[in-house]
């Protein structure tokens, strides 16, 4: 489900769960382990997908079949994995190599830098459209990144947007021309940081990201509230309708 590629001191963690790198329990756990190991073994990290598709987000067709206890365990692990990204001890760039809606961009919120290709690739937070809500940790990270008003506009509407708008509102830090160039640019960005004097860069990064790490210290994960929404009849109906549409693509 993952490919680990070392570019000198920079480790690339590449999502490799075709066709859409959708997040299921196994991939979520593999990512948590990979982040923990990379934090110990590398000086910087790049998270990537395949050209044209970073991650489509949660694997709803698989998750919809979990019972309440299984879903609650998965959701707790997912939140824990986001916390691990937020607390990475080394710079972490997300090379969003293509589409990155929902869970795809959610992971990237907790990294240091986000790069996407230009063109028709989409990202955003469509949770409301499928009957769900953005978790409090994700909302706090989004507000930190783009501001409260912009966060309200896109989360309440469940908006999916193109890469150009994502750049304009600050959700993405940089665009490159082609999907194939995203990883190399992310590696270059990491190299630029690693070329700065130590420990000045690391200490500055630690101070700058203290509020992001604090999200996981002060915010109640409130897993049970998400589970209640997930299993509401209206949410289940919407999610199963989504699964049926996916089957006929």
Q: How confident is the model at residue 223 (pLDDT cuts 50, 70, 90)?
A: confident
Q: Are strands 113-117 and 174-176 parallel, antiparallel or unpaired?
A: parallel
Number of domains into which the chain is organized: 1
Q: How confident is the model at residue 55 (pLDDT cuts 50, 70, 90)?
A: very high
Q: Residue 7 forms beta bridges with which residues? A: 10
For residue 245, the model assigns a pLDDT of: 85
Query: Is 203 inside a domain boundary?
Result: no
Query: Is 175 inside a domain boundary?
Result: yes
pLDDT for 219 beyond 80: no
In whole angstroms, give the CA distance from residue 221 to residue 44. 28
In whole angstroms, give the CA distance from residue 211 to residue 235. 32
Give 128-149 pLDDT, tens digit per residue. 998 899 999 999 999 999 999 9
pTM for this prediction? 0.95
Residue 197 DSSP class: P
- Find where tokens 């997040």 sit: 23
Query: Is 206 inside a domain boundary?
Result: no
In whole angstroms, give the CA distance from residue 82 to residue 180. 26
In whole angstroms, give the CA distance from residue 63 to residue 58. 8
Query: Is 165 inside a domain boundary?
Result: yes
Q: How confident is the model at residue 246 (pLDDT cuts 50, 70, 90)?
A: confident
For residue 221, the model assigns a pLDDT of: 62
In whole angstroms, give the CA distance from residue 130 to residue 160. 12
Mean pLDDT across the stretch 20-47? 98
Query: Is 209 inside a domain boundary?
Result: no
Query: Is 205 inside a domain boundary?
Result: no
CATH number at residue 89: 3.90.226.10
In whole angstroms, give the CA distance from residue 171 to residue 167. 6
pLDDT for 218 beyond 80: no
pLDDT for 23 beyond 90: yes
Query: Is 161 inside a domain boundary?
Result: yes
> Residue 17: which domain range?
2-197+214-247
In whole angstroms, give the CA distance from residue 47 to residue 107. 10
The mean pLDDT value of the chain amounts to 95
Query: Is 79 inside a domain boundary?
Result: yes
Other C-beta atoms lying within 10 Å of the C-beta of residue 197: 7
pLDDT for 196 beyond 70: yes
In whole angstroms, give the CA distance from residue 77 to residue 1. 17
Among 86-100, 159-173, 175-189, 211-225, the minimum mean pLDDT is found in 211-225
């Amino acid at each position: 489900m993952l490919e680990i590629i070392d570019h000198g001191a920079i480790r690339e963690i590449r999502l490799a769960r075709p066709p859409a790198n959708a997040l299921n329990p196994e991939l979520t756990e593999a990512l948590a382990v990979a982040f923990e190991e990379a934090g110990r073994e590398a000086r910087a990290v790049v998270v990537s997908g395949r050209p044209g598709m970073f991650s489509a987000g949660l694997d709803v067709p698989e998750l919809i079949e979990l019972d309440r206890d299984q879903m609650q365990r998965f959701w707790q692990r997912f939140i824990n994995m986001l916390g691990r990204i937020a607390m990475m001890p080394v710079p972490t760039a997300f090379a969003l190599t293509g589409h990155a809606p929902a869970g795809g961009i959610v992971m990237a919120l907790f990294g240091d830098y986000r790069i996407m290709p230009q063109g028709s690739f989409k990202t955003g937070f469509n949770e409301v459209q499928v009957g769900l809500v953005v978790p409090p940790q994700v909302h706090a990270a989004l507000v930190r990144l783009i501001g409260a008003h912009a966060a309200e506009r896109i989360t309440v509407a469940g908006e999916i947007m193109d890469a150009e708008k994502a750049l304009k509102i600050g959700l993405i830090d940089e665009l490159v021309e082609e999907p194939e160039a995203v990883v190399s640019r992310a590696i270059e960005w990491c190299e630029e940081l690693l070329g700065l004097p130590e420990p000045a860069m690391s200490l500055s990064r630690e101070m700058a990201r203290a509020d992001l790490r604090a999200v996981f210290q002060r915010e109640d994960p409130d897993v049970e509230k998400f589970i209640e929404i997930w299993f509401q009849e209206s949410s289940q109906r919407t999610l199963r309708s989504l699964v049926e549409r996916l089957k006929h693509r």
